[in-house]
Amino acid sequence: MRGVNMKRMAGCAALVAAMLLGPGALDQASAFEGRSFTASAEAVTVNFQYGIPGFILTDKYIDYGGPTAQARFESVGGKRAQAQFPYIGYQADYPGLYATVAAQFTATPPQLPSYPFRAAADSDGQSEQVIGQESAPYFVKAKATTESTNSIARFGAPPGSDGASAPSSLAKTEIIDRADGVTVIAETVAQSFSLGPLSVTDMRAKSTSSYTSGAADVVTKTETFVKGVAAGTMAFSFGPDGLKVAQNGVPVPAEQGLSALNQALAPAGFEIHFAASRTLPGGAAAAAFEIVQMHPVPGAGEGREGIFRIRFGGVISQISLGA
């Protein structure tokens, strides 16, 4: 009888925990032996920003993106994924934003259709959503289960091998919870891109974070490659060995490379920058390649300029370990 009572007490405790902590509260914490974790991944193939620093409250008036994939996995909690193209950030939630405002004026506000270019998945609800076809030029997919979350957004032909020239833009994330640990992957590929005198054949960025049961900490590796780039008579590549520049086939000293490139792009009003990879808590952001154009803004104040920025890479993977 005592054993039966103990089982009932354990069952009641589990029920109370589920009620207090919500869906997913009883999920197994995989190989972490009771240690909780939160894993996340974000991949944006190309991000467009425009702003006038110091002009009004925000420095960014435009902050949109190309194919974008995101995933999140909580060992004790939600498992979610989403993919978008075009990426419009929080504005994709306009049905809810509109309903909140409209409710101030009418008790039954009309419902707006959801953003048609976003796939979203939740392990506690809709576990998978697909927009488009995998073999077609437009494909967006998100999937979330109790073992993994993943998302993919692609525009153009499926990416070819390294150096392929078919136009393609892809963002992909994946989080896998295994018996011996967790792996988080964020990846982007952009092929055959051009802007004025600047052309790029192949850009790839990847960040991978992993944690193995019993390890001291999370291990993260990042990589960014920019290849087949031409700017007038200049050509350059960027990878593990840094920036390499050549003019008319003749190598340019490394310390002069970036300056020489920007001189070649100056007549078109462009500059290029390389943002180094960044260490984040439990992960990292891969290095990024940026194209920047600045212009004076009449009426914004003396010396104030508008900044248009195109950013490739910078994908993020993280695993935050609990107690």
pLDDT for 301: 57
What share of the chain in percent tops pLDDT 90?
39
Q: Is the pLDDT of residue 40 over 70?
A: yes
31 pLDDT higher than 90: no
pLDDT band at 59 (very low <50, low <70, confident <90, very high): low
Give CB contacts under 8 A, 24+ apart, made by 210-214. Answer: 210/181, 210/182, 210/183, 210/184, 210/319, 211/37, 211/181, 211/182, 211/319, 211/321, 212/31, 212/180, 212/181, 213/31, 213/32, 213/33, 213/180, 213/181
Instruction: Return the bridge partners of 312, or none.
Output: 46, 289
Q: Quick one: pLDDT at residue 227?
A: 87
Predicted pLDDT of residue 113:
86
pLDDT at 205 over 90: yes
Task: Tell me the pLDDT tens digit for each residue of 234-291.
Answer: 888 999 888 899 988 888 887 788 888 888 888 888 888 888 899 999 999 999 999 8
Tell me the pLDDT tens digit for each residue of 309-323. Answer: 889 988 999 999 986
Query: What local confidence, expressed as pLDDT, does residue 151 receive?
Result: 98
User: What ranges do the domains of the chain cover?
Assistant: 2-321
Which backbone phi and psi does 197 adopt, to 5 degrees? -80, -5
What's the pLDDT at 14? 41
SS3 labels along 112-131: CCCCCCEEEEECCCCCEEEE
pLDDT band at 1 (very low <50, low <70, confident <90, very high): very low
pLDDT at site 54: 58
Per-residue pLDDT tens for 152-166? Answer: 999 988 887 676 666
pLDDT digits (tens, 9 = 90+) for 213-228: 888 899 999 999 998 8
Task: Identify whether the C-beta of residue 48 lies closer than 8 Å to the C-beta of residue 190.
Answer: no
Task: Select from 40, 142, 154 the least CA-distant residue to 82.
Answer: 142
* Amino acid at position 194, single letter: S
Asked if residue 201 lies in contact with residue 191, where contact means CB atoms within 8 angstroms, the answer is yes
Mean per-residue pLDDT of the chain: 83
pLDDT digit string (tens) for 288-311? 999 888 766 665 556 577 788 889
